């Protein structure tokens, strides 16, 4: 179907992000349609993580421009309302919350996302299915949120949340950080399952290895707060082989 006849699941229109008067993201416009998986690559300090945090509504950042989710503006909403509307952020460094069990956290999050009290039996059935999809042992549910988790366990939990919350759009900030080969495969498959044909994904990464599993439909290079190059999966291969030399000059 022609993109002109479809509505992007996420649309960024001339987005600028600054902190303490310092502009970091310098005018980003991007459309992501249902079923698309976009990868955002770039050197350290280019503004990728700043963009992710600002999209989720982090109060430290000042954002101008528009963020549209299913053609509805969300840039003026607080973070919890953006999440309820269907925007998901996977953190680069998930925070531990001692005393809060994984199952308790997930049920509260699912209830908030769906706007109703999900029956216990229904929730447990969905949770078990998500555990099986990500090869997570049942005892995971009773552990405290990210408390004492390995890097791989934290990232599995992030993707588990995606499967349970069924977001309209997910921003994943360096989800592959600290993962071994086996964990990378599991997490990548979880991303593919959670994305599905109706949602969208923006995957922020430095490396091609996760893209070999996730198979992005689009790849973008972000340098000094600007998109300097967009293309298909072949762009990630170019970056892997040649780095950002040449591409960075466009910024």
- Structure-model confidence comparison of residues 208 and 171, the more confident one: 171
Q: How far apart are CA 174 and CA 19, in angstroms?
A: 21
- Residue reference for tokens 């950042």: 61
Kindly state the average pLDDT of the residues 7-33.
96
pLDDT tens column, 45-66: 999 999 999 999 999 999 999 9
The residue extents of the domains of the chain are 3-92+167-250
pLDDT of residue 191: 84
CB 212 within 8 A of CB 232: no
H helices of the chain, where? 48-56, 79-85, 102-114, 120-133, 151-165, 181-195, 209-214, 233-242
Q: Give the list of residues 6+ apart from residue 155 with CB closer than 8 angstroms, or none.
A: 90, 94, 175, 176, 177, 178, 179, 183, 187
Kindly state the average pLDDT of the residues 24-40.
96
- Structure-model confidence comparison of residues 23 and 154, the more confident one: 23
pLDDT of residue 249: 61
Kindly state the average pLDDT of the residues 160-170.
93
The reported pTM is 0.89
pLDDT tens column, 68-112: 999 999 999 999 999 999 999 988 778 889 999 999 999 999 999
pLDDT of residue 181: 82
CA angle 249, 210, 189 (to 5 degrees): 145
- Residue reference for tokens 């600007």: 226
Half-sphere exposure at residue 18, Cβ-oriented, CA atoms within 13 angstroms: 9
Q: How confident is the model at residue 176 (pLDDT cuts 50, 70, 90)?
A: confident
pLDDT of residue 193: 82
Q: How far apart are CA 18 and CA 95, in angstroms?
A: 24
- Residue reference for tokens 């999966």: 233
pLDDT of residue 156: 84
Q: How far apart are CA 67 and CA 76, in angstroms?
A: 9
How would you label 107-127 residue by residue, b for 16+ Cβ within 10 Å and e otherwise? Answer: bebbeebeeeeeeeeebeebb
Average pLDDT across the chain, whole number? 90
CB 16 within 8 A of CB 27: yes
Q: How confident is the model at residue 129 (pLDDT cuts 50, 70, 90)?
A: very high
> What is 3-92+167-250's CATH topology?
Rossmann fold (3.40.50)
Statement: residue 251 has pLDDT above 80: no
């Amino acid at each position: 179907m022609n993109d002109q006849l479809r509505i992007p699941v996420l649309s960024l229109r001339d987005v600028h992000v600054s902190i303490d008067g310092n502009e970091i993201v310098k005018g980003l416009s991007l459309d992501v349609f249902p079923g698309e998986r976009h990868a955002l690559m770039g050197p350290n300090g280019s503004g990728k993580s700043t963009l992710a945090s600002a999209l989720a509504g982090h109060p430290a950042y000042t954002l101008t421009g528009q963020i549209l989710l299913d053609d509805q503006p969300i840039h003026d909403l607080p973070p919890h309302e953006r999440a309820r509307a269907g925007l998901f952020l996977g953190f680069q460094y998930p925070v531990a919350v001692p005393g809060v069990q994984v199952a308790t956290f997930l049920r509260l999050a699912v209830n908030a996302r769906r706007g109703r009290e999900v029956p216990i039996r229904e929730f447990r059935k969905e949770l078990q299915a998500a555990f099986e999809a990500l090869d997570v042992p049942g005892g995971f549910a009773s552990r405290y949120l990210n408390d004492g988790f390995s890097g791989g366990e934290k990232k599995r939990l992030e993707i588990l949340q995606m499967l349970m919350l069924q977001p309209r759009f997910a921003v994943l900030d360096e989800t592959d950080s600290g993962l071994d080969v086996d964990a990378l495969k599991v997490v990548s498959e979880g991303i593919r399952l959670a994305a599905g044909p109706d949602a969208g994904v923006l995957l922020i990464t430095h490396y091609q290895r996760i893209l070999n599993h996730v198979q992005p439909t689009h790849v973008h290079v972000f340098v000094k707060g600007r998109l300097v190059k967009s293309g298909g999966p072949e762009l990630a291969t170019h970056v892997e082989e040649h780095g950002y030399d040449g591409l960075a000059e466009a910024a």
